[in-house]
Amino acid sequence: MKAIYLTGFMGAGKTTIGKRLGEVLQLPVIDTDAYIEQQVGKTIATIFAEEGEEAFRAYEREVLKKLPTEHIVITTGGGIVIQEENRQFMRKHGIVIYLHCELHELFRRLMGDTTRPLLMENKKSQMKQLFEQRLPWYHEAHITIDTTNRTVNDIVETIVSLLKSSRF
Instruction: Provide the annotated binding site.
Output: 11-16, 33, 57, 78, 116, 134, 150
The H or E element that residue 74 is part of is strand 73-75
Annotated binding site for Mg(2+): 15
Annotated binding site for substrate: 33, 57, 78, 134
CA-based nearest residue to 134, from 90, 84, 95: 84
The H or E element that residue 70 is part of is none
Residues 42, 46, 48, 50, Cα dihedral to 10°:
-100
The one-letter amino acid code at 7 reads T
Annotated binding site for ATP: 11-16, 116, 150
